[in-house]
Amino acid sequence: MTPDPVLIAAAVAPALIFLAVVSVRLEHKKRLLVPRPLWTIALALLMGVGAALLALAIEQLLTVKPWAISNLGTLALFTLIGVGLAEEGAKFLLMRLGLWHLDSFKERYDGILYGAAVGLGFGATENIIYVLNGGIDTAIVRAFTAVPMHGLLGIVLGYYLGKTKLSPGWGFTALWWAVVAHGFYDFLAFQNSPLATFSLFSFILWLAWWSFKASREARRFSPSWGGSDEELLQPYTPPPIQEKSPERAALLSLIPGVGQFYNQEPEKGKAFLKVGIFNGLLLGAL
């Protein structure tokens, strides 16, 4: 059966409209400019398609043995790991290993642009599958939920990766917040109750507002997007290392991550804290 071109257009249109909004800059309130080469934006979209295929393979591996979802704890664990980590992890990996090295990825807002493009490429690919199976009604519903959500999650990912461009590190904070936001969205979407539905749309609206503020902030520090290079003139300098008490650090380490924060190792502390939270969720689901 030949795919209906109208359904394909309905599936892709929301992603293209979203992408157009984040890709342009209004100069002197007169004309619209696209500060980054169109081919790099197209490449980011294709990276999103690749991320969708990679995530599908990862999700199939994670669900070889069906999850026994019997309560909200196991549902939270599934949406966080089986969906959120698989999908956002695939986007993060392709951004960090591919788009990160583009010459045009050099300012804070560039992270948001390319992150949104990857998310929308992912969302459009996923949307085509759903819409071809569910029809125009599915296209209308997902145009206001899943597709913009993938774009907003891309902004979360890109916002933190854009900040990481100005300091050393892999930017795992970006992955963490994208996974948490995605997991929470699916945690609500997988429930069938008026409260969950209300909370779902409230969360989308809140994330849209956060993304708007994050984008405005990133543009202020991005010269190509109408901002200043004030932040770019301040190179990263590590904090001075002060001698700490090993005994106090060992005692504080009873709470995951606290000892590392005391030793002025924030990245290690965040990693231990995340593992501690994950283990707590796992124990709560058992």
Spell out the per-residue pLDDT of the chain, length 286, in tens.
557 788 888 888 889 999 999 999 877 667 788 889 999 999 999 999 999 999 988 888 877 666 667 788 888 888 888 889 999 999 999 999 889 888 899 899 999 999 999 999 999 999 998 888 888 888 888 888 888 999 999 999 999 999 888 776 778 889 999 999 999 999 999 988 899 999 999 999 999 999 999 999 999 988 888 887 655 544 445 556 566 666 666 666 666 666 666 677 777 767 766 666 666 555 545 5
Q: Given this model, what pLDDT does residue 276 score? A: 64
pLDDT at 240: 60
Per-residue model confidence (pLDDT) at position 243 = 64
Q: Which of 102, 113, 132 is nearest to 45 (CA)?
A: 113
Angstrom distance (rounded) from CA 121 to CA 23: 14
Helix (H) / strand (E) containing 31: strand 31-33
Residue 42, Cβ neighbours under 10 Å: how many? 13
What span, in angstroms and rounded, lies between the C-alpha atoms of 100 and 43? 12
Return the SS3 of 107.
coil
Cα separation of the two ends of the chain = 45
Question: Which two tokens mark 196?
Answer: 């969950």
Long-range contacts of 273-282 (CB under 8 A, 24+ apart): 274/176, 281/73, 281/76, 281/77, 281/80, 282/77
Q: What is the pLDDT of residue 236?
A: 46
pLDDT at residue 156 in the model? 95
Pick the closest to residue 19 from 195, 154, 207, 191 (CA basis).
154
CA distance 231 to 167: 11
| pLDDT for residue 92 | 94
Question: Residue 33's beta-bridge partner residues?
Answer: 25
> What is the bridge-based pairing of β-strands 31-33 and 25-27?
antiparallel
Question: What pLDDT sits at residue 49?
Answer: 93
pLDDT, position 254:
61
Task: DSSP letter for 248, please.
Answer: H
Query: 74 and 2 in contact (C-beta within 8 Å)?
Result: no
Q: Is 44 helix (H, G, I), strand (E, B) or coil?
A: helix
Predicted confidence at residue 259, as pLDDT, reads 65
